[in-house]
């Protein structure tokens, strides 16, 4: 083997090790069962119900803040079926609206639909956390790309929901979102 071959092999090995580390020790390694015994118990029907205020940031692929936003949500449940409308205002002045149609199984399984999703989102609530996986199509002004999304929502003791999401294209993280959601008094 030539010295250049050794360098290429070493670089490939390092990339493989980095990918394995992320898969088995990072954000992607979490599972709903990891949170199953934790309190307080996260119930979408209770904690994401009524008027909700959201604040958050979106980080770009290099880890720097790319956008900041606020959101006003309204969620209503009838049994195990819910609808959550979201209105976002970004620091750029742009706005975005989304309507989630959610179905919660008796075992905590979640089925989610929205107009900008490609297919159906699936997830699980367990203990103090909720995980949701889906593919989303970005608006045309943002390139129209389809990204794989993993959402994790964690219930804080005061009822605030902390949301961390990663967005991936071809398995490579291209953005991350961190936000809080808290119910507000409808009066």
Instruction: Please tell me the predicted confidence (pLDDT) of residue 25.
Output: 64
Distant-in-sequence, close-in-space partners of 114: CB < 8 Å, separation ≥ 6: 98, 99, 100, 101, 121, 136
| C-beta of residue 150 within 8 angstroms of C-beta of residue 135 | no
- What are phi and psi for residue 46, nearest 5 degrees? -100, -50
Instruction: Please tell me the predicted confidence (pLDDT) of residue 45.
Output: 95
Instruction: Please tell me the predicted confidence (pLDDT) of residue 131.
Output: 97
Instruction: Please tell me the predicted confidence (pLDDT) of residue 3.
Output: 77
Q: Any idea what DSSP says for residue 114? A: -
- Taking only the tens place, the pLDDT of each residue in 110-146 is 999 999 999 999 999 999 999 999 999 988 888 889 9
CA angle 94, 98, 99 (to 5 degrees): 160
Measured distance CA(140)–CA(179) in Å, rounded:
24
What class is the 31-183 domain? mainly beta
User: Which residues of the chain carry a pLDDT beneath 70?
Assistant: 16-25, 187
Query: What is the value of pTM for the model shown?
Result: 0.84
């Amino acid at each position: 083997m030539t010295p250049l071959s050794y360098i290429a092999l070493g670089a490939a090995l390092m990339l493989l090790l980095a990918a394995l580390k992320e898969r088995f020790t990072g954000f992607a390694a979490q599972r709903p069962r990891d949170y199953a015994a934790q309190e307080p118990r996260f119930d979408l029907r209770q904690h994401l119900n009524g008027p909700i205020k959201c604040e958050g940031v979106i980080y770009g692929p290099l880890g720097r803040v790319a956008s900041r936003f606020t959101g006003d949500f309204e969620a209503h449940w009838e049994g195990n079926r819910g609808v959550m409308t979201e209105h976002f205002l970004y620091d750029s002045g742009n706005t975005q609206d989304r309507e989630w149609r959610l179905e919660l199984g008796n075992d905590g399984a979640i089925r989610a639909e929205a107009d900008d999703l490609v297919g159906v989102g699936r997830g699980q609530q367990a203990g103090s956390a909720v995980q949701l996986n889906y593919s989303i199509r970005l608006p045309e002004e943002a390139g129209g790309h389809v990204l794989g999304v993993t959402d994790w929502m964690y219930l804080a003791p005061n009822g605030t929901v902390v949301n961390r999401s990663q967005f991936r294209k071809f398995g490579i993280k291209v953005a991350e979102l961190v936000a809080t959601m808290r119910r507000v008094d409808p009066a």
